[in-house]
Amino acid sequence: MKAEELMIGDWVYSAFSDKPCQVIGIEQYESEYVNVKVTNVTGAKDINSLSFIPLTAEILEKNKFREFGLIRSPKYGLWLEDGRTIELAKFDCGWRIWIFYNNIPMSLKYVHELQHALILCGIDKKIVL
């Protein structure tokens, strides 16, 4: 894991907690040494003690994504109040994402990647674990 891959609010696992944690601070010392502050853990910890959380159907369902269209692969959709949609389809390489019917050229494997895609598209959706 690299500091450039993280943003404040990202969900990660920490070796110091048995629950998922959210990044609340990133501190870089010198050129290589990075500490990260996360919820559920006292004090800053080395970035190497963190790991990414795999994106699963269960996490999507907990965040109000609904399953639809099982023809070739599981698909999940979230319909926003303003009529826009977010769709994800499961493939071997990860999840493909369409936001407002536009194919985003990326494959998602982890929760923080979904968080980043939503932020970049201006969607104010908090992911719950």
Predicted confidence at residue 92, as pLDDT, reads 83
Contact 94, 114 (CB under 8 A): no
Q: How far is CA 53 from the centre of its chain?
A: 7
Look up residue 122 and give its amino acid: G
Residue ranges of the chain with per-residue pLDDT less than 70? 30-32, 70-72, 101
- Model-level pTM? 0.87
Beta strand pairing call for 50-52 and 45-46: unpaired
- Identity of the residue numbered 109: K
Neighbouring C-beta atoms of residue 97, cutoff 10 Å:
22
- The residue among 72, 77, 71, 84 whose CA lies nearest residue 57 is 77
